[in-house]
Amino acid sequence: MLSLARASHPLATPFRIARGVRTSADVVVATIHDGARTGRGEAMPLARYGQDVDGAIAEAGALADAFGTGLDRRGLLERLPPGAARNALDCALWDLESQRQGLSVANLLGQPGPLPALASVQTVGIDTPERMAASARTLAHLGQVKIKVDASDPAAQIRAVRSALPTARLIVDANESWTLDLLHAMQPVLAEARIDMLEQPLPAGEDDALLGFESVVRLCADESCHVAADLPRLHGRYRMVNIKLDKTGGLTAALELLDAARAQGFGVMVGCMISSSLAIAPAWHVARHAEFIDLDGPLWLSDDHPGGTVMRDGLLQPPAPELWGGGLRATGAATA
């Protein structure tokens, strides 16, 4: 039996990117019951792609009868397109399979357990350069930090964070807000600030402008890369791809994208939306293979699930196995 619900997680502080400000994470939670066990998955519908929670619930709910007749993860890939609805369902199926077999998802994938702690970035959101520098100083204990920028004054934004964090590895995310002219103009600044990687400077669909462009830092496709089938058109434009389960439509497709990206010579970053640890737990199984990891979504929340991921000693600690994919569901474990 399939059940679907909306959950809203207030943020401790507003999260600003080039497309706007978020004060809560509104997600869809899928729960699949087989009579004895329950699998759960969480996904964030993306307004950038015309998705919302109500639409994702309706899209996923249309398959309720199919789950009653044994719809599996491979069949799900054929029935729904990439997106939040498929992500919630796919992750719920992984969680359910883990419990049925009494094995963690890591074991099902042939990966060693327990899950490792990860050197994830934390994000400095868009603000005045002075406030961004102040936010960056609170992250001085980390080795890697991500800077959100827009087109208003990215040079000042980047320099402010670099001045506050003279030794950290920095990546920059423009969220499609730049033009090709601005990208050209920013090359000296990116070099001066020793930026490791730049995410999605141009709007998706304008990638052809990057053909022949020699960037001083690696460019990473985010909004331009959803699934493995997107990779051929990214060659010669990007050197890295950002894998997010809300874009791929679940862990199954994310693992396919991971394998294809590595086979085709792309570097890999794993990202997330602002979400709870229920959504982050599946991404761990991709992130453990990535060069850059951006799974700080739950750290923005005012209240996460018990047993959720936390930052300790500069490393992101994995969620408790009882939350998702650990091969068991403890009595009284957190539910969304």
CA–CA distance, 165 with 145 (Å, rounded to integer): 9
pLDDT tens profile 30-46: 999 998 999 999 999 99
Query: Do 277 and 304 touch, CB atoms closer than 8 A?
Result: yes
Is the link from the previous residue into 201 a cis peptide, with omega within 30 of 0? no
Q: Examine the pLDDT at 112 and tell me if it is beyond 90.
A: no
As given in the structure block, the two tokens for residue 49 are 């792609």
pLDDT tens profile 167-186: 999 999 999 999 999 999 99
**What is the band of 308 on the pLDDT scale with cuts at 50, 70, 90?**
very high
Q: Domain 122-317 is in which class?
A: alpha beta
Annotated active-site residue 244? The verdict is: yes
Model pLDDT, residue 329: 61
Question: Which amino acid belongs to residue 130?
Answer: E
Percent of the chain with pLDDT over 70: 97
Percent of the chain with pLDDT over 90: 88
Model confidence, pTM: 0.93
CA–CA distance, 93 with 251 (Å, rounded to integer): 10
Detail the DSSP E strand segments found in the chain.
2-17, 20-33, 38-43, 122-124, 144-148, 169-173, 195-199, 218-221, 240-243, 267-270, 292-293, 310-312, 315-317
Query: Residues with Cβ < 8 Å from 156, sequence gap 6 or more?
Result: 129
Residue 313 exposed, middle or buried by CB count within 10 Å (0-12, 13-18, 19+): exposed
- Beta strands across the sheet bearing 38-43: 2-17, 20-33, 38-43
Model pLDDT, residue 191: 98
Q: How many helices, marked H, and strands, marked E, lie in the chain?
A: 12, 13
> Active-site residue among 146, 226, 244, 285?
244
Averaged over 187-208, what is the pLDDT?
A: 97
CA–CA distance, 59 with 69 (Å, rounded to integer): 18
Phi, psi (5° rounding) for residue 212? Answer: 85, -5
Model pLDDT, residue 227: 98
**What is the band of 332 on the pLDDT scale with cuts at 50, 70, 90?**
very low
As given in the structure block, the two tokens for residue 36 are 């004895």
Model pLDDT, residue 17: 76
Model pLDDT, residue 288: 95
> Active-site residue among 40, 148, 237, 305?
148
Q: Examine the pLDDT at 334 and tell me if it is beyond 50.
A: no
Report DSSP state, residue 118: B
Q: Examine the pLDDT at 15 and tell me if it is beyond 90.
A: no
Q: How many CA atoms lie less than 13 Å away from 283 in the CB half-sphere?
A: 36
Report DSSP state, residue 82: S
CA–CA distance, 30 with 56 (Å, rounded to integer): 10
As given in the structure block, the two tokens for residue 40 are 């759960």
Q: Given phi > 0 = left and psi -120 to 50 = alpha, else beta, which region is 59?
A: alpha
Domain boundaries, the chain: 2-103, 122-317
CA–CA distance, 301 with 280 (Å, rounded to integer): 13
The superfamily (CATH) of domain 2-103 is Enolase-like, N-terminal domain (3.30.390.10)
